[in-house]
């Protein structure tokens, strides 16, 4: 190859004047453009497909013996931090599962560490084999109803990163009331990013309010819960990303929307997917598999999982940074390929990332994060965990949903546990308290997490002040993480010393500790399948309807703080 | 409206805090995203749709009484010069016919006048109400097998215009052999424009040669003639623009390709459409109508005619120049709308361009062109029109095709006429001669044109040197145009003094003279329905298979000059 003229070299290879790097013969490859299967040899040079018909001369040849090949999956929206892994460990786990590109929003670490968190992600993205693209976090903190570690990130703070080769635009604009009411700083950001992609986030938003939000510039939504909600959003021009995270699981509701006519407006995303699920069920391959299992034509699913997302983010076009088009198997497209032993079960034989088998990828050592020691809480007493009692607002935790219901009841009602959020960035505010139902009728003890969306203060659920104090102290000591406590003893713990969100341990090590945590949670009576992820979302005040931040109880529908007692 | 904060004003209007400019009530509008019809009121502010449900408060309201509304049509590829009108007259004629945006390539005037021709188009595009986007002409001249008025336009010449707000990329890369053989200047242009759109032009190109061409970066083709050719191109990732010009008419062959699965990869274009056809049959509305008349579901046609083209050129996204997204009827999209009295017959009641009724548009006075006096030929004698006789290569002119067939025959065979191309930019080269069959068995006299794609030398067809000399002299005197001559008399003529390509006359005036020209052509025995357009394409050496330029006879398949006599 002529390194100064890669285009010339690719054309030379496509004409057989120089050898290709790899040819995959006897492929049955998926054509996203017509939703049909084609047969041919995929000739690859310099990471790019240069021929799809007869095999071109190549240094290496692999006979696929008729195996199906589909374009690499693109995760349309993911917070890598929710995997608890560093980007380096994350890519090792997902590329082999078919996710060859991902659009990430590093807003978890941004809430903890500000733009230096975003910078770290960008530096990682420059070196990952996984094609990681970054949306710049729009809502740090998610609202004015909480405080985080970073303070407020304004458009001015984001400006230096806007033209970074890995940046595609503005991440999920969660502050939809701010759009509709034309808040100054929201308008600044929407104007600043109007020529790039602006991701939406508008759970349950409908009608004229949704139309106003769209006039603001958002063009995607990964927060649809109901089919008719998603259908309205597609009809109004949004790309809808069908999400199947570890808690928020919308695929069952939304997959009936995937038809030929809507297939280029729909994609898939994991948003927040925990390492257990990635390891046990899969990453985007799991969503693809589930969509097919539920009866959707595989062709529609494969199209949506690749080309449709690529088109939305203009990844199907070469860009000014030298990124080559992706999202399809065709000449001139990046050779991100998933080889399947079986189409319907999405049984993956091999993945090619820019033409290199995943099993042979040389992953780079990524930049070290420097976000340790982020859990700074003052000395605690049991009194810090004594919430007001009586007739109170109570959150109803819904298994598998990040939305909550709500009712008014008594703090001592059966099955009601106490929630507490502690500011953890050294500002030593008073703890905030609330109540939640849904952790289990026999729940007894405490669970705590420094993953507490999106400000990531320390969030605890418990049935007595003593166990809650022990849990908080355990996490303060480990620099963050998850723990389960009963009768004053820590039953299980996972340390997350990177910003209180991630660990540099391997997926296998994380898996082992998380399994123990889930077992311990069950042991103390927690009935939720995802105790920590569900807990973590109870502090996110941009998801209806009742949430608890470090500043107090939030009525999300009214978008204001309310008194706990009624 | 707050002029410094248009976004805020639009959102305010969408929330009814300030009045909209216009609301179209009782609309039955087409949703391109789901291919369904919706009912609602279209509320418009500042040229943008801000609501699609209940009518918002507005200064003006029009009751559509259930009429169908579809997104404005986008002509995916057009040479405005082929209308013989200036851009100002062109827009007056096409917007009212539903063409609200057009992607033009000013390569006709660029061949005559160089970058000053492109500059004039860009200045016009800044002021037209029609949303005119410009692709920068890639192949001026079309090949090395001809000379034009401008000389060679290199990538360096185009660079100053590349970031112009109206520029989308590089226009049709006709030199596909140059791509495949990696000619230096072609590589320069492809690299220079790799991050923008590169329009393709690859008639009949198939298989590995097509793949190599695509690796080069082209991503559309408007030159498909055969269904399986177009199908292969779509499968390889090209957007295929179904062309129905005045000569090249591909709709009948290609329309079966338009299905739900391919609908976002297909669009429509006029390429070269003469003013008679625009006036009598229509512009893009004619293609839409024809596609429906031939049995295609109207929904697929309306989608392809708007959204699909917008997506290809990223016109469905707001851009850095402040252009608002188009191609659909949805909140946040430009209000380019076509109101139909009848869907199947595409009977247009009204067109809205950025929310303004076409009938009320205040068209700007566009910059004057300064491309007069471009026909500079030396004193002629009849000897200049005496071609070699005997056994010769003969072009077979195919009615309604810009491709030619070819055979070897005798120059005196019945129905064979002489072709001559005269360099017309003052370089005083020797005339070039050839023969063509297909103008008519009884054709007698001469026809001449200074529209002679793409170098626009003076091209003539005739049966005797005397009439040909008279025809050439008539055009030299009028600064270019078309004429018909018999027995030494000019029977009809249209002057095209702007670069020998266009006139500043109105569409009605042009219509009257062209009708007379066609009548005169018929009178002297020409059997072609489009005598002048067919003649004009006989000098285009990038369209197979035999063509005549000012340098001589071109074997397009071999891409070289050949001897006339065999």
| pLDDT, chain A, mean | 97
| Angle, alpha carbons A213-A561-A483 (nearest 5°) | 100
Question: Is the pLDDT assigned to residue A545 strictly greater than 80?
Answer: yes
Tokens standing for B28? 């039955």
Spatial separation of the C-alpha atoms in residues A424 and A409, rounded to whole Å: 29
Q: Which residue of A has its CA nearest to B263?
A: A261
Residue for token pair 């509701």: A253
Mean pLDDT of A424-442: 96
**Contact map slice: A 262-291 vs B, CB within 8 A:** 262, 264-265
Tokens standing for B56? 């918002």
How many residue contacts between A and B have a Cβ separation below 8 Å? 175
Tokens standing for A335? 């050779």
Per-residue model confidence as pLDDT tens digits over A77-101: 999 999 999 999 999 999 999 999 9
Tokens standing for A215? 């006039």
pLDDT on residue B39? 98
| Backbone angles phi and psi of B71, in degrees to 5 | -65, 145
Whether B219 and A10 lie within 8 Å, measured CB to CB: no
Complex prediction ipTM: 0.95
| Backbone angles phi and psi of A269, in degrees to 5 | -150, 155
Per-residue model confidence as pLDDT tens digits over A161-211: 999 999 999 999 999 999 999 999 999 999 999 999 999 999 999 999 999
Residues B478 and B495: beta-carbon distance below 8 Å: yes
From B482, B473, B483, B450, select the one nearest B550 (Cα to Cα). B450
Mean pLDDT of B260-274: 97
**Distant-in-sequence, close-in-space partners of B346: CB < 8 Å, separation ≥ 6:** B98, B285, B288, B289, B292, B340
Per-residue model confidence as pLDDT tens digits over B154-187: 999 999 999 999 999 999 999 999 999 999 999 9
Residues A25 and A55: beta-carbon distance below 8 Å: yes
Tell me the torsion sign for CA atoms A117, A118, A121, A127.
negative
Whether A215 and B260 lie within 8 Å, measured CB to CB: no
Whether A262 and B236 lie within 8 Å, measured CB to CB: no
Spatial separation of the C-alpha atoms in residues A110 and A153, rounded to whole Å: 8
- Greatest CA separation for chain A: 81
Judge if the upstream peptide bond of residue B394 is cis by omega within 30 degrees of 0.
no
Question: Is the pLDDT assigned to residue B436 strictly greater than 90?
Answer: yes
Helix, strand or coil, per DSSP, at residue B204? coil
* β-bridge pairing B446-449 and B458-462: antiparallel
Q: What count of Cα atoms within 13 Å lies in the side-chain half-sphere of residue A8?
A: 15
Whether A234 and B33 lie within 8 Å, measured CB to CB: yes
Spatial separation of the C-alpha atoms in residues A508 and A504, rounded to whole Å: 11
What distance in Å separates residue B470's CA from the closest CA in chain A? Answer: 50
Question: Is the pLDDT assigned to residue B1 strictly greater than 80?
Answer: no
Q: Which of B14, B36, B328 sits opposite A215 (nearest CB)?
A: B14
Whether B210 and A331 lie within 8 Å, measured CB to CB: yes
pLDDT on residue A105? 98
From B329, B306, B344, select the one nearest B27 (Cα to Cα). B329
What distance in Å separates residue A414's CA from the closest CA in chain B? Answer: 44
Mean pLDDT of B502-530: 97
Q: Could you tell me where the beta strands, DSSP code E, fall in A315-376?
A: 337-342, 347-353, 356-357
Q: Is B311 on the interface with A (CB under 8 A)?
A: yes
Secondary structure (DSSP) of A496-518: -TBTTTBBSS-HHHHHHHHHHHH
Mean pLDDT of B113-136: 98
B306 contacts on A by Cβ (under 8 Å): none
CA distances from A34 to B228, B266, B276 (A): 13, 11, 36
pLDDT on residue B123? 98
Identify any residues that bridge with B503 across adjacent strands, giving them in sequence order.
B85
Secondary structure (DSSP) of B473-487: HHHHHHTSEEEEEET
Q: What count of Cα atoms within 13 Å lies in the side-chain half-sphere of residue A473?
A: 16
Q: Is A239 on the interface with B (CB under 8 A)?
A: no
* Confidence label for B220 from pLDDT (cuts 50, 70 and 90): very high
pLDDT on residue B145? 94
Q: Could you tell me where the beta strands, DSSP code E, fall in A72-230?
A: 73-78, 99-104, 131-136, 167-173, 197-200, 220-221
Residues B318 and A217: beta-carbon distance below 8 Å: yes
Per-residue model confidence as pLDDT tens digits over B50-72: 999 999 999 999 999 999 999 99
Residues B446 and B460: beta-carbon distance below 8 Å: yes
Question: Is the pLDDT assigned to residue B136 strictly greater than 80?
Answer: yes
Per-residue model confidence as pLDDT tens digits over B279-330: 999 999 999 999 999 999 999 999 999 999 999 999 999 999 999 999 999 9
pLDDT on residue B17? 98
* β-bridge pairing A48-51 and A61-63: unpaired
Q: Is B178 on the interface with A (CB under 8 A)?
A: no
Question: Is the pLDDT assigned to residue A428 strictly greater than 90?
Answer: no
What distance in Å separates residue A205's CA from the closest CA in chain B? Answer: 14
Q: What percent of chain A has pLDDT over 90?
A: 95
Mean pLDDT of B379-384: 94
Mean pLDDT of A118-124: 98
Whether B208 and A53 lie within 8 Å, measured CB to CB: yes
Q: Which of A33, A219, A319 sits opposite B237 (nearest CB)?
A: A33
Residue for token pair 């786990």: A93
Whether A12 and B216 lie within 8 Å, measured CB to CB: no
Whether A7 and B194 lie within 8 Å, measured CB to CB: yes
Spatial separation of the C-alpha atoms in residues A480 and A503, rounded to whole Å: 10
Q: Angle at which helices B507-523 and B87-94 pack, to 10 degrees?
A: 90
Q: Is B214 on the interface with A (CB under 8 A)?
A: yes
Spatial separation of the C-alpha atoms in residues B453 and B456, rounded to whole Å: 5
Whether A208 and B53 lie within 8 Å, measured CB to CB: yes
| Backbone angles phi and psi of B96, in degrees to 5 | -65, -15
Whether A34 and B235 lie within 8 Å, measured CB to CB: yes
Spatial separation of the C-alpha atoms in residues A210 and B326, rounded to whole Å: 18
Q: Which residue of B has its CA nearest to A29?
A: B235
pLDDT on residue B2? 80
Neighbouring CB atoms inside 10 A of B18's CB total 17
From B35, B105, B115, select the one nearest B76 (Cα to Cα). B105
Tokens standing for B26? 């009782």
Which residues in A288-314 are b (16+ Cβ under 10 Å) and which e?
bbbbbeeebebbbbbbbbbbbbbbbbb
* Confidence label for A400 from pLDDT (cuts 50, 70 and 90): confident
Q: Is B207 on the interface with A (CB under 8 A)?
A: yes
Residues B548 and B539: beta-carbon distance below 8 Å: yes
**Contact map slice: B 51-80 vs A, CB within 8 A:** 51-54, 56
Whether B11 and A212 lie within 8 Å, measured CB to CB: yes
Q: What percent of chain A has pLDDT over 70?
A: 100
From A503, A485, A483, A502, select the one nearest A493 (Cα to Cα). A483
What distance in Å separates residue A396's CA from the closest CA in chain B? Answer: 32
Q: Which residue of B has its CA nearest to A314?
A: B314
* Confidence label for A401 from pLDDT (cuts 50, 70 and 90): confident
pLDDT on residue A370? 85
From A67, A114, A16, select the one nearest A337 (Cα to Cα). A67
Chain centroid to CA B396? 24
Residues A535 and A449: beta-carbon distance below 8 Å: yes
Q: Which of A8, A318, A330 sits opposite B182 (nearest CB)?
A: A8
Cβ neighbourhood burial of A334 (10 Å; 0-12, 13-18, 19+): buried
Residues A56 and A46: beta-carbon distance below 8 Å: no
Spatial separation of the C-alpha atoms in residues A384 and A465, rounded to whole Å: 8
CA distances from B132 to A431, A536, B117, B410, B430 (A): 60, 51, 15, 48, 39
- Of A332 and A378, more confident: A332
Comparing A49-53, B349-353, B378-382, the range with the smallest average pLDDT is: B378-382
pLDDT on residue B248? 86
Q: Is A11 on the interface with B (CB under 8 A)?
A: yes
Tokens standing for B244? 């129905």
| Backbone angles phi and psi of A160, in degrees to 5 | -65, -20
**Distant-in-sequence, close-in-space partners of A403: CB < 8 Å, separation ≥ 6:** A203, A225, A543, A544, A545
A35 contacts on B by Cβ (under 8 Å): 261
Spatial separation of the C-alpha atoms in residues A99 and B1, rounded to whole Å: 46
Mean pLDDT of B100-121: 98
Mean pLDDT of B327-346: 98
| pLDDT, chain B, mean | 97
pLDDT on residue B389? 97
Q: Is A197 on the interface with B (CB under 8 A)?
A: yes
Question: Is the pLDDT assigned to residue A247 strictly greater than 90?
Answer: no
pLDDT on residue B4? 81
Q: Which residue of B has its CA nearest to A9?
A: B182
Question: Is the pLDDT assigned to residue A3 strictly greater than 90?
Answer: no
Q: Which residue of A has its CA nearest to B56?
A: A208
Element holding A491 (H helix, E strand)? strand A489-495
Q: Which residue of B has its CA nearest to A323?
A: B195
Interface test with B, best of A208, A234, A258 (most B CBs within 10 A): A208
**Distant-in-sequence, close-in-space partners of A486: CB < 8 Å, separation ≥ 6:** A444, A445, A446, A467, A523, A524
From A232, A294, A237, A307, select the one nearest A268 (Cα to Cα). A307
Whether A330 and B237 lie within 8 Å, measured CB to CB: yes
Neighbouring CB atoms inside 10 A of A266's CB total 27
Check residue A229 and report its DSSP letter.
Answer: H
């Amino acid at each position: 190859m002529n390194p100064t003229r890669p285009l010339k070299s690719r054309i030379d290879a496509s004409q057989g004047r120089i050898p290709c790097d790899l040819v995959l013969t006897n492929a049955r490859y998926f054509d996203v453009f017509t939703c049909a299967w084609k047969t041919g040899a995929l000739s690859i040079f310099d990471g790019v497909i240069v021929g799809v018909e007869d095999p071109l001369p190549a240094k290496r040849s692999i006979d696929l013996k008729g195996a199906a090949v589909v374009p690499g999956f693109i995760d349309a929206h993911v917070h890598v931090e929710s995997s608890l892994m560093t980007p380096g460990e994350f890519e090792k786990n997902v590329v082999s599962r078919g996710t060859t590109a991902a659009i990430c929003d590093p807003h978890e670490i941004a809430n903890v560490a500000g733009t230096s968190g975003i910078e770290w992600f960008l530096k990682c993205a420059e070196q990952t084999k996984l094609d990681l693209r970054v949306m710049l976090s729009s809502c740090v903190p998610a609202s004015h109803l909480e405080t985080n570690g970073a303070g407020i990130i304004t458009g001015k703070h984001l400006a230096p990163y806007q033209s970074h080769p890995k940046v595609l635009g503005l991440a999920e604009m969660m502050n939809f009331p701010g759009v509709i009411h034309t808040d100054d700083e929201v308008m600044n950001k929407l104007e600043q990013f109007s020529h790039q992609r602006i991701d939406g986030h508008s759970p349950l938003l409908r009608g004229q309010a949704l139309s106003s939000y769209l006039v603001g510039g958002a063009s995607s939504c990964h927060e649809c819960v109901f089919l008719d909600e998603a259908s309205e959003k597609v009809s109004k021009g949004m790309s809808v990303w069908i999400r199947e995270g570890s808690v928020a699981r919308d695929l069952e509701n939304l997959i009936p929307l995937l038809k030929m006519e809507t297939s280029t407006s729909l994609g898939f995303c994991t948003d927040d997917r925990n390492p257990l699920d990635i390891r046990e069920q899969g990453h985007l391959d799991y969503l693809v598999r589930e969509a097919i299992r539920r009866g959707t034509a595989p062709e529609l699913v494969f199209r949506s999982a690749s080309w449709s997302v690529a088109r939305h983010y203009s990844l199907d076009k070469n860009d000014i940074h030298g990124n080559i088009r992706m999202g399809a198997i065709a000449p001139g497209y990046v050779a991100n390929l998933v080889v399947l032993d079986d189409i319907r079960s999405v049984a993956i034989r091999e993945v090619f990332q820019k033409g290199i088998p995943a099993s042979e990828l040389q992953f780079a050592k990524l930049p070290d994060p420097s976000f340790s020691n982020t859990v700074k809480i003052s000395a605690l007493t049991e009194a810090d965990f004594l919430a007001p009692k009586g007739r109170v607002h109570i959150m109803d935790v819904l298994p598998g949903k990040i939305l909550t219901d709500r009712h008014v009841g008594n703090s001592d009602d059966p099955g009601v546990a106490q929630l507490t959020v502690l500011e953890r960035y050294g500002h030593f505010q008073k703890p905030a308290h609330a109540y939640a139902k849904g952790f289990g009728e026999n729940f007894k003890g405490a669970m705590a997490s420094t993953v507490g969306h999106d400000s990531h203060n320390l969030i605890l659920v418990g049935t007595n002040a003593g166990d809650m104090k022990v849990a908080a102290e355990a996490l303060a000591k480990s620099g963050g993480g998850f723990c389960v406590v009963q009768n004053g003893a820590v039953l299980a713990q996972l340390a997350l010393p990177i910003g209180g969100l991630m660990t540099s341990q391997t997926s296998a090590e994380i898996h082992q500790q998380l399994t123990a945590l889930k077992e311990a949670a069950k042991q103390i009576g927690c009935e939720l399948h995802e105790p920590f992820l569900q807990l973590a979302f109870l502090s996110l005040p941009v998801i209806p309807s009742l949430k608890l931040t470090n500043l107090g109880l939030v009525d999300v529908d009214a978008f204001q703080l309310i008194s706990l007692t009624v």
